[in-house]
């Protein structure tokens, strides 16, 4: 029996000592009401909440879990370095090895700077581009997420208009709007930012159209600006190289984080030779950026990326899930919108403008031991098995039946703050 009394009690205590009860992307505020906020442990594919309920976890920590929680050889590398020395007065020698390995794996990269979070890497990318060009304007895709610093956080409270000065927006995959944004930037263009795929929340995902990616490259070359691919979320999930290797386009800079140490805290900015001097002459640092244990974990993660079939496995598991869910949905008279690469699935319902079906279905899955997300892309990890996928499909089948039989579904009032409930309700 699924229960949540421990979670409820923790949430009540959190209300008193954590602003808003919880902050940031791991707040469950915009998820179905009963989604657990607090977790106890994680192992391989599974996650246990504070009440002891077990889930097959398709969020993978919002991306970091690539090879399975608590991966043996990655954590062994981490612990061994932790015992030798972690946050010291200077970096360990293995920092150089990690930079050598990542630049060998990522074809556009000749140098690496390590940092802690994805936002560090995207913010530094912006700084390197401005330093390289001595120009200010950044062209970005509307709705794309690049982190939570004042220049890019999606909620503007607490930021100044000047934090977002020198930004021009385009529509992802729309060549004409990209050209128009670059035209607006005039002779002040420092960089074009691109997500490796369109992986915005609440809307279908899109693979990059080759023509769009190539045009972004050309425009940067014409203007002397830098092309930045933000691979924080998708990095090494779609390719053993930059994600835009899939469309044959080399960025000048790429930001990485999330999965590069399978959950241990480290991120990176990688760059091409021409931006080396610009990278060497900005000042960016942090107390924990040089910690050695996450670097040791990342080195082992890199080895697994090179030497295992994790990529092909996560792709084929994702395809198995996609096909099974479509079939189960059809059986109950539903049609799904499953978009993006199969190993980074986003699953929403057709004819569900207020997300009511999605919320009810995700809630039913959660209470049956499968942790899905109704409006953010999910992740397949290499620890998942065919049996996990087949079990998920069975549970989903049950959840479809539950939603079909539930009759009129409630309006998801909590989404009103996002202005998402204007259509169809
Ligand atoms: N860029 C992208 C594409 C992301 O998905 C994220 C995190 N969700 C970030 C940047 C920011 O990373 P972090 O939360 O580690 O600062």
d(CA 27, CA 317): 28
Cα–Cα dist 57/380, whole Å: 9
Contact 302, 235 (CB under 8 A): no
pLDDT at 419: 81
- The predicted pLDDT at position 139 comes to 98
Q: For ligand 1, is residue 230 a contact (CB within 6 Å)?
A: yes
Ligand 1 and 198: CB distance under 6 A:
no
- Plot region of 385 (φ>0 → left; ψ -120 to 50 → alpha; else → beta): beta
Do 109 and 22 sit in the same domain of this protein?
no
Q: Which atom of ligand 1 is nearest to the CA of 120?
A: 16
Residues 147, 273, single domain; the answer is: yes
- Same domain for 283 and 410, yes or no, is no
- DSSP assignment of 345-367 equals -EEEETT-TTSHHHHHHHHHHHH
222 and 284 both lie in a single domain: yes
Q: Read off the pLDDT of residues 374-402 as tens digits, 9 standing for 90 and up.
A: 999 999 999 999 999 999 999 999 999 99
What does residue 340 show for φ and ψ, rounded to 5 degrees? 85, 180
322 found inside a domain: yes
Q: Is 302 helix (H, G, I), strand (E, B) or coil?
A: helix
Q: Give pLDDT, residue 418.
A: 87
pLDDT score, position 424? 44
Distance CA 312, CA 316 (A): 6
**Domain boundary, last residue among 307, 329, 364:** 307
Which CATH number is 394's domain given? 3.90.1150.10
Ligand 1 mean position to 171 CA, how many Å?
19
| CATH code (residue 168) | 3.40.640.10
Domain finish residue from 307, 340, 373: 307
Q: 0.95 cut: is pTM over it?
A: yes
Residues of the chain predicted below pLDDT 50: 423-425
Q: Tell which residue, 51, 55, 102, 8, has the closest CA to residue 392.
A: 55
146 Cβ inside 6 Å of ligand 1: yes
> Measured in angstroms, how far is the CA atom of residue 118 from the centroid of ligand 1?
5
Ligand 1 centroid to residue 158 C-alpha, Å:
19
In a domain, 425, yes or no: no
In the chain, the number of structural domains is 2
Residues 107 and 189 in one domain: yes
Q: Which domain holds residue 44?
A: 5-60+309-418
Q: For residue 65, is it within any domain?
A: no
Show the tokens assigned to 124: 């530094």
Ligand 1 centroid to Cα of residue 145, in Å, is 7
Of 25, 226, 41, nearest in space to 131 by CA? 226
Cβ of residue 257 lying under 6 Å from some atom of ligand 1: yes
pLDDT, tens digit (0-9, with 9 covering 90-100), for 209-242: 999 999 999 999 999 999 999 999 999 999 999 9
231 C-alpha to ligand 1 centroid (Å): 9
Structural domain includes residue 30: yes
The helix, strand and coil proportions of the chain, stated in percent and rounded to the nearest 5, come to 45, 15, 40
pLDDT for the residue numbered 422: 56
């Amino acid at each position: 029996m699924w229960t949540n009394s421990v979670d409820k009690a923790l949430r009540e205590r959190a209300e008193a000592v954590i602003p808003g009860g919880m902050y940031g992307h791991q707040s469950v505020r915009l998820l179905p009401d009963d989604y657990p906020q607090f977790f106890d442990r994680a192992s391989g594919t599974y996650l246990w909440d504070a009440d002891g309920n077990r889930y097959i976890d398709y969020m993978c920590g919002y991306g970091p879990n690539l090879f399975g929680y608590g991966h043996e050889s990655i954590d062994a590398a981490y612990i061994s370095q932790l015992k030798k020395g972690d946050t010291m007065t200077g970096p360990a020698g293995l920092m150089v090895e990690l930079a050598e390995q990542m630049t060998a794996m990522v074809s556009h990269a000749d140098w690496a700077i390590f940092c802690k979070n994805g936002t560090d890497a995207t913010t530094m990318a912006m700084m390197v581009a401005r330093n390289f060009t001595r120009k200010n304007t950044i062209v970005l895709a509307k709705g794309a997420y690049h982190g939570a610093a004042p220049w890019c956080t999606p909620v503007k409270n607490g930021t100044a208009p000047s934090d977002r000065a020198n930004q021009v927006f385009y529509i992802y995959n729309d060549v004409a709007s990209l050209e128009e944004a670059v035209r607006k930037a005039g002779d002040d263009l420092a960089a074009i930012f691109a997500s490796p795929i369109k992986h915005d929340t609440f809307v279908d995902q899109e693979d990059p159209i080759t023509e769009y990616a190539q045009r972004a490259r050309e425009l940067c070359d014409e203007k002397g600006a830098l092309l930045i691919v933000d691979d924080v979320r998708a990095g090494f999930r779609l390719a053993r190289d930059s994600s835009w290797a899939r469309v044959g386009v080399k960025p000048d800079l790429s930001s990485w984080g999330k999965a590069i140490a399978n959950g241990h805290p480290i991120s990176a900015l990688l760059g091409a030779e021409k931006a080396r001097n610009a990278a060497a002459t900005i000042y960016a640092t942090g107390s924990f950026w040089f910690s050695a244990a996450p670097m040791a974990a990342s080195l082992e993660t890199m080895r697994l990326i090179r030497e295992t079939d994790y990529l092909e496995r996560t792709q084929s598991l994702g395809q198995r899930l996609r096909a099974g869910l479509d079939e189960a949905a059809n059986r109950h008279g539903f049609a799904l919108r499953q978009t993006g690469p199969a190993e980074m699935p986003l699953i929403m319902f057709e004819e569900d403008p207020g997300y009511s079906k999605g919320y009810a279905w995700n809630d039913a899955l959660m209470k049956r031991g499968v942790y899905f997300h109704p409006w953010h892309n999910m992740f397949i990890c290499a620890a998942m098995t065919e049996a996990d996928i087949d079990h998920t499909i069975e549970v989903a089948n049950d959840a479809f039946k539950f939603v079909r039989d539930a009759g009129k579904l409630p309006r998801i009032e909590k989404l009103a703050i996002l202005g998402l409930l204007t259509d169809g309700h």
